[in-house]
Structure 1
Amino acid sequence: MGDKYYTIGMAGHIDHGKTALTKALTNVDTDRLKEEKERNISIEAGYAPLQAANGTHVSIVDVPGHERFIRQMIAGVAGIDLVVLVIAADEGVMPQTEEHIEILRFLGIEHCIVAITKIDRADEEILEIVTEDVRERLEKTRFQDAPYVYVDSLSGTGIEKLKETIFAELEKVTFRDSFGSFRLPIDQVFTVQGQGTIVRGTVYEGKAEKGSQLTVLPKGLKAKVRQIQVHHEEQQQARAGQRAAINLGGVNKEQISRGDVLVASDHFLVTDTVDIVLKVVNETFTPLKQRSPVKIHVGTSEVMGKIVFFDRNELAQTNDEVLCQIRLDEEIVVRRGDRFILRRPTPVETLGGGWVIEPKAGKYRFGEETISMLRSKMEGTPEDLVADALSKQPVLSFQQLLQDTSLIEEALQNVIEEGTAAGTILEIPGQGYSAAKTIAKLENEMLQMLSAYHEEFSLRAGMGKAELVQSLSTAYPKPFIEYTLNRLTGKGELKKDRQYVALAVFEPHLPKKWRARMEEMVTALKEDGLAVKKWDEYVAGTPVPKAYISELPVYLLETKQAERLTDDMLIHRQAFQAAVAQLRQNTGESFDLKEAKEALNISRKYLIPFLELLDQQNITIRQEEKRQWTKEGQPS
């Protein structure tokens, strides 16, 4: 198996030792800002690499603990695979600890380690009391079975044990597959002198490579990856689960902000209205009225909007899931299943969180009919769940579909059989299953790409297959691209010639704008017979662009309109055939150099390379000083 990449978060109350613990684990001080060091608190999320073990690479996020910096905490925690809940032995569970636990619950974080820090400040009795208090707070949450580790960051006590526990818990985490479409929610953007615009974030899914073209959403800005760094080390690619800094060309710092999303394809939705499943906090709060202003945190974005209920006029504390909608003041980028946190802007407080049912929602009537529709979306039919899973990744194995849909094997098999029979699902040999519309989309992209390529490079036989595959590989797995390429070829829409791929209807041709000029060159070449000039002399002074001039000889050779006599001389195919016929007519079964010169009446400057060309094409065979005609005796 290849390397795996994970991001874990340090969460907890201010001054409980998250930054010191991160430094003890990684030897990196994540307090970067001057004001952070002066005030001894974390304002921005800090990041550090934990030494890899058995191909497992870990980025640690030290998220801010102070209440004033809760929005940075939310951005830092979004996208993590495992949380280390840090609680000081001399203080125990504090208000921000409680809020962090709530936020982690709402964001769907499933794996947790409890780290009791500053154990040098507490005796065994105090440690037992603190531990019991934490267990009570985590009871009936998804963290109730979390392992506990007791550490002192300054002396190093328990640090190795914590490392072992982290890597052991990561074995239980579902590894993020890098075959999805690349998505990186941006949480930091800055410039470096001489380098340009840099963005940072955690790669949610997929991968991006150096030199690839990306898009900044929701603004739709096109950018090129100049450089990729993972923990200050330059890399060729950034993969799902990694914390990455990407140097972007084509955009400036002022055009990008925290909350924007860097993607590699158009699979992602830009939306200002989302249907959600909302769970509120486990404490009483001031009721939230219909269409009240709220702030939603999703990924690294925080956007104001209005909450719209369809079955009530205000929201109070409840244990039930609330199906509702957020109408946003700005566009965001989300997918079904993305987790969010909902906060009240004034007074500032966390209200709840949940997940996105429908990223591109419409406007609905108040009433039970809408609630039933939203519940249907939330629960989803098996067909809906499979379709949703296949819309997120081009191809999934049966096992991956089981994990993504939570269906039992029999139900999933029925959906696949019905989908393949109806033509909505296609089985990809050796890879898994794909939505027919995904393949149709890739086919259309291929056809459009080749059409544009032929328009720009009409003299070429086609686009290099490797170039075509590489250009699509940031959005699709290469085996999937190969399958689709073969599928289009099998349907007669594409053709393959050696290393080239072209539309079936395409034939290399002279560009319309310069056809007359180029035909004049070819005619001059033809009229010169064997006594040709160097190619540069035929094109001297022409207004034809240099790019076309350099490709014209290749075009003539590829289309068999010419033969290469020397490195810098071509002869027209008709002149070549006429010379072969003339030589054949004026010689016997074999001939020497003198006989050939007399038959063709040309100088050795042309004669020698011409005869060598005959040998290359197996028209003649050289035997010492003579050449023997082959059975064909004519150009092939």
Structure 2
Amino acid sequence: MPVIMGTAGHIDHGKTTLIKALTGIDCDRLSEEKKRGITIELGFAFLDLGEDNRLGIVDVPGHEKFVKNMVAGAAGVDFVVLVIAADEGIMPQTREHLEICQLLGVSAGLVALTKIDMVDEEWLEMVKEEVAAYLEPTFLGGAPILPVSAHTGQGLDELKAELRKLVAEFKPRRRSDLFRLPVDRVFTMKGHGTVVTGTMISGAISLGEDVTLYPGSTTSKVRGLQSHGETVETAQAGRRTAVNLAGLEVDDVRRGDVLARPGSLFPSDVWDIELTVLESSRLPLKHRREIHFHHGAREVLARIHLLDRDELAPGETAVCQARFSEPMAGVWGDRVVLRSFSPLRAFAGGRVIGPAGHSIKRFSKDVELLGQLASDKPEEVASAQLELAGPKGVSFAELLTMTNLETKGLEKTLGLLGGQQRAVLFDKESRRYAGGALVDRLASGLLDFLAEYHRRESMKPGVQRGELASSWGRELPPKLMHYLLERLLKKGDIEADQEVFRLKGHKVSLASDQAKVRETILDAYSQGGATPPNLKDVLESLGMDAKQAAPVLRLLQDQGDLVRIKDDMYYHAPALNGIRESIIGFFAGHEEMSAPDFKDITGLSRKYLIPVLEYFDKEKLTVRVGDVRRLRKRS
């Protein structure tokens, strides 16, 4: 797998000169760099190690004013060569660069002790001992310390041999198949247009593919690719890559933008992060402190919100939130560096555990769940992401960024969680998931709601789907609401009559006086048949008004005993069905039916005739054509 090497070290310790001696490539390309004799911008080179093994190299500036450029370059490296001049030894940026590499998760490398032609043997041995002692508690403790001279060539072969050995033994960090290239340089190439370069940190990209620049939404197409100086059709992760973008101007691209596939990243102005303050920091990190936040090749202002304390002391680690001045596009596990305003130096860093920050209240129980996002177990991370996302759920594409798993790995993890009922696929079309514990709580809440509804509306057979969605389920995605109902129906906890839902075994319960009212009204309309009584007269006999009788009338309709024709006109359902059959029978021998025809076959007076005809028009049994009715054609 391709490997990227980065340099680190104090200004004028010979990083760029050493790279040129190793590769023949001068990384100082700017006229100002050549004039001042210092590296300002990132430089790039490659070293052929044999057997088709080409090592990518990122050369970083050593001056304290350009540490932000150093961070941008170091963000994509796999291992580091710490360059220390033998005539000066350990200097301020030696220390800061080493700390930045530590914060970025770099865990391997070696030391190049340069300018040995400028010191004697005794001094050289003393410096080697000093460097070894200083590095002992760091990730470079015990790493090879190789004396070299870029001017005489002494030690270069030994350095190359050690690099070859390091690359052969190096195990690159796990990379997902999500294509991402943080842009650290953008320029125009005559005859080609806009070109962006960066270290491809994951995935692969091919000629002709559509791409998007995040955190914005600028889209383009890949019209050309170069990897380690060679033109290719497909570029792989772990390589320095140049991408020629179609239809874009240089001003359309900002350093720190991330090139990825459309719809694959989800910018947010809040991130959850696991943060460590360096032991060398002079002061603790206080809640809501504003800092310089470095991620990939981007630097933005951010405010750090501590969630379980008021300050984070040097050497301590905690989960917290970074709130940005502009949206950022990241992935779980990305490394970040925090730099203070005064003095302007790196003092903390860590990794992203929630690239779409969650709504977390300080000192709440959710802070503990947030800590689960820092787990090394993918199923624990995915489960916590689902629970923290709440009812809106998370799509498969979002989960790829929230777990940094390969596609197959995420599918396997979700399958495992699904078997444990910790993940629920509630929207198959959009591949959207919710946390299992959350769904259980929602299902229990829905049952409680139905129980309360039955208590409050004892004369209703249940609650309509629309009413349920607009009241209890108003904050839920419709697909999740549907999933919950289907799940409870399947388990037998609820029953449904078309679009009306009720608890299993629920029966309409009437008080004794309400039961008497129901019987009286039903009896009156049953006796009335095709010429039903006036509702007002029926209610006067009961000593009631329409408002008092409304629940019983609604129940009679819900149970299918009465049918409301218009306003206060009701029909006993069997009587209305008889009229329906008479109409259908008439049309068996006729094409049209006039109002007089309808009166002849039913004997209805005008009081009932017109409303009943209009009712059957609304019911789509008949259709009015001029002054006659015709039977609607049925499929």
TM category (shorter chain) comes to: 0.5 to 0.7
- The root-mean-square deviation of aligned C-alpha atoms, in Å, is 2.8
Q: Secondary structure at the match of 1:392?
A: coil
What's 2:334 paired with? 338
Q: Secondary structure at the match of 1:13?
A: coil
CA separation of 1:224/1:418 partners in 2, compared to 1, >3 Å: closer, same or farther?
Answer: closer
Shift of 1:386: 6.8
Question: Aligned letter for 1:227?
Answer: G
Structure-1 separation of matches of 2:315 and 2:3: 32
CA separation of 1:438/1:78 partners in 2, compared to 1, >3 Å: closer, same or farther?
Answer: farther
Cα contact 1:7–1:61 (8 A) shared by 2? yes
Cα contact 1:6–1:56 (8 A) shared by 2? no
Structure-2 separation of matches of 1:39 and 1:63: 16
Q: Secondary structure at the match of 1:87?
A: strand
Which residue among 396, 407, 411 is the counterpart of 1:394? 407
Question: Aligned letter for 1:45?
Answer: L
Cα contact 2:373–2:381 (8 A) shared by 1? no
What's 1:325 paired with? 321
CA separation of 1:442/1:37 partners in 2, compared to 1, >3 Å: closer, same or farther?
Answer: farther
Which residue among 225, 231, 235 is the counterpart of 2:232? 235
What's 1:372 paired with? 368
Cα contact 2:178–2:203 (8 A) shared by 1? yes
Cα contact 1:269–1:360 (8 A) shared by 2? yes
Cα contact 1:178–1:239 (8 A) shared by 2? no
What's 2:182 paired with? 185
Shift of 1:416: 8.7
Structure-2 separation of matches of 1:440 and 1:137: 57
Shift of 1:345: 2.7
CA separation of 1:323/1:419 partners in 2, compared to 1, >3 Å: closer, same or farther?
Answer: closer
Which residue among 62, 71, 74 is the counterpart of 1:74? 71
Q: Secondary structure at the match of 1:383?
A: helix
For the pair 1:279 / 2:292, whether they are aligned, the reply is: no
Ranges in structure 1 where 5+ consecutive residues have no aligned partner: 402-414, 426-434, 444-636
CA separation of 1:360/1:397 partners in 2, compared to 1, >3 Å: closer, same or farther?
Answer: closer
Further displaced range: 358-367 or 371-380:
371-380
What's 2:87 paired with? 90
Structure-1 separation of matches of 2:427 and 2:190: 42
Correspondence list, 1:516-595, <5 A: none
Shift of 1:377: 2.4
For the pair 1:42 / 2:39, whether they are aligned, the reply is: yes
For the pair 1:108 / 2:109, whether they are aligned, the reply is: no
Q: Secondary structure at the match of 2:41?
A: coil
For the pair 1:383 / 2:379, whether they are aligned, the reply is: yes
Offset from partner CA, 1:487-536 (integer Å, 9 cap, x none): xxxxxxxxxxxxxxxxxxxxxxxxxxxxxxxxxxxxxxxxxxxxxxxxxx
Structure-1 separation of matches of 2:189 and 2:75: 26
Cα contact 1:89–1:117 (8 A) shared by 2? yes
CA separation of 1:394/1:439 partners in 2, compared to 1, >3 Å: closer, same or farther?
Answer: farther
CA separation of 1:370/1:395 partners in 2, compared to 1, >3 Å: closer, same or farther?
Answer: closer
Offset from partner CA, 1:21-44 (integer Å, 9 cap, x none): 100110011000011011110000
What's 2:218 paired with? 221
Question: Aligned letter for 1:291?
Answer: R
Ranges in structure 2 where 5+ consecutive residues have no aligned partner: 384-398, 433-635
Structure-1 separation of matches of 2:114 and 2:124: 10
Q: Secondary structure at the match of 2:184?
A: strand
Correspondence list, 1:202-213, <5 A: 202-213=199-210
TM-score of the aligned structures, taking structure 1 as reference length? 0.61
Cα contact 2:281–2:347 (8 A) shared by 1? no
Q: Secondary structure at the match of 2:407?
A: coil
CA separation of 1:269/1:53 partners in 2, compared to 1, >3 Å: closer, same or farther?
Answer: farther
TM-score of the aligned structures, taking structure 2 as reference length? 0.61
Cα contact 2:49–2:164 (8 A) shared by 1? no
Further displaced range: 371-380 or 121-130:
371-380
Structure-2 separation of matches of 1:35 and 1:378: 43
CA separation of 1:441/1:265 partners in 2, compared to 1, >3 Å: closer, same or farther?
Answer: farther
What's 1:561 paired with? none
Which residue among 285, 289, 294 is the counterpart of 2:291? 294
Shift of 1:370: 4.4
Structure-2 separation of matches of 1:271 and 1:417: 28
CA separation of 1:341/1:178 partners in 2, compared to 1, >3 Å: closer, same or farther?
Answer: closer
Shift of 1:149: 1.3
Structure-2 separation of matches of 1:424 and 1:234: 47
Structure-2 separation of matches of 1:380 and 1:438: 28
Offset from partner CA, 1:339-364 (integer Å, 9 cap, x none): 00001134422121111111111232
Question: Aligned letter for 1:108?
Answer: G
Structure-1 separation of matches of 2:378 and 2:48: 42
Q: Secondary structure at the match of 2:226?
A: strand
Question: Aligned letter for 1:26?
Answer: T
Structure-2 separation of matches of 1:102 and 1:162: 23
Which residue among 137, 144, 149 is the counterpart of 2:146? 149
What's 1:200 paired with? 197
What's 1:164 paired with? 161
What's 1:548 paired with? none
Shift of 1:54: 2.1
Question: Aligned letter for 1:330?
Answer: E
Question: Aligned letter for 2:38?
Answer: I
Structure-2 separation of matches of 1:173 and 1:439: 41
CA separation of 1:382/1:288 partners in 2, compared to 1, >3 Å: closer, same or farther?
Answer: closer
Q: Secondary structure at the match of 1:136?
A: helix
